[in-house]
Structure 1
Amino acid sequence: MTIDDEIQKVLSSPGTSYWLRQSLQQALDRDCVDAANDAEYLSELLDRRCQPIISQAPGTNESSGKNCG
């Protein structure tokens, strides 16, 4: 599957959130490097925001990699 096929699959999936669909569509109209850098920074910020919440949840395994989603 090509990346364009995967993007179309995400955009057309009924399980894709409105926010993700809109964000992806807007990102596709931008410079790809700028969009990827911004997305990476957003991911880091949201992950750091979630870490304290996840680490306080009962039965949480912090070594499981990406959390909060």
Structure 2
Amino acid sequence: LLNVLKALFIETGSRQKVMNALEALRTGQGYPYFEELALIAAEFYTMDKRMEDSIYFYNEMVCAQRQIQRGDFLYEV
């Protein structure tokens, strides 16, 4: 989790670095975290006026929500 925040706020905020940090959360138990962190990334890029990156992470958030709905993954973190 901290790797994602570090990639966003401390390092350059490149989309690839953030996605690399998020990749470990693409598991059944990690999807709720993935969803929340993708939203944080999308909001970060929106504030930074990087709309293409923002839209990318909003889409990733929606994909995580779909995975949560398909499975029996809990939203409780």
TM-score normalised by the chain length of structure 2: 0.33
Structure ID, larger Rg: 1
Q: TM-score, normalised by structure 1?
A: 0.36
Structure with greater contact order relative to length (CA < 8 Å, sep ≥ 6): 2
